[in-house]
Amino acid sequence: MNPYLAGILLGLVLLATVYITGRGLGASGAVKSVVATGVKAAAPDHYESAAIYQDYAAEHPGGTMKSWLVFEVLGVLIGAFISGILSDRIGLKLEKGPSVTNKTRILTAVLGGALFGFGSQLGRGCTSGSALSGMSVMSLGGIVTMMAIFGGAYALAWFFRRLWLR
């Protein structure tokens, strides 16, 4: 899709979401719901004794998996799959630089994802929730968050560039 058109459509989706739900988009809440449900199934005693899970369950009286964020993320996954089918881009492919092994690429991707997930909990939301949704309502925090994300990425890119170049 044309990136300018995609940006406009994303802005309209954000605007509609804030108007309809009173809050913006975000994916980290869905991950939190899945984790809480998994802990409840795997370690019910821990789930019942940990205040963080009890507080989260109190916010979702119908059940943590009934959070609209879970359905949002499911919709994103289904939509991405349909888009891949329509554009004939379905397939497993590991993209990496020529001098990077598959193991290094997978480990750095997992480490980066874990750090980003941890950071999203410290920052009380992921990039979608904090930056995009925050910027859509002209929140200073959202603007600062977006600047920090891109500034941090540009600053760290120099150190990791040799993983992709050569």
Judge if 42 and 73 occupy the same domain.
yes
What span, in angstroms and rounded, lies between the C-alpha atoms of 109 and 27? 18
3-state SS class at 123: coil
pLDDT of residue 17: 81
Q: pLDDT band at 47, cuts 50/70/90?
A: very high
Average pLDDT over residues 106-112: 91
Judge if 86 and 8 occupy the same domain.
yes
Which tens digits make up the pLDDT trace of 60-105? 888 888 878 888 889 989 998 998 899 888 888 888 878 788 998 8
- Per DSSP, the chain holds a count of helices (H) and strands (E) of 8, 0
pLDDT of residue 128: 67
Helix (H), strand (E) at residue 103 = helix 102-122
pTM over 0.75: no
Judge if 10 and 75 occupy the same domain.
yes
Average pLDDT over residues 9-25: 81
Average pLDDT over residues 126-153: 80
Average pLDDT over residues 37-57: 92
Q: Which domain holds residue 4?
A: 1-91
Average pLDDT over the chain, rounded to an integer: 84
Judge if 119 and 78 occupy the same domain.
no
Q: Which two tokens stand for residue 135?
A: 């910027």
Judge if 84 and 165 occupy the same domain.
no
What span, in angstroms and rounded, lies between the C-alpha atoms of 18 and 7? 16
Judge if 128 and 65 occupy the same domain.
no
Residue 165 has pLDDT above 80, yes or no: no
pLDDT of residue 130: 74
Judge if 87 and 130 occupy the same domain.
no
Average pLDDT over residues 46-53: 92
pLDDT of residue 166: 59
Judge if 111 and 141 occupy the same domain.
yes
Average pLDDT over residues 119-129: 73
pLDDT of residue 7: 83
Burial bucket for residue 105 (CB in 10 Å: 0-12, 13-18, 19+): middle
Judge if 79 and 100 occupy the same domain.
no
Question: Residue 72: CB partners within 8 Å, gap ≥ 6?
Answer: 25, 27, 30
pLDDT of residue 147: 87
Q: Which of 57, 91, 125 is the last residue of a domain?
A: 91
Average pLDDT over residues 94-118: 86
Judge if 3 and 81 occupy the same domain.
yes
Q: Which of 68, 91, 114 is the last residue of a domain?
A: 91
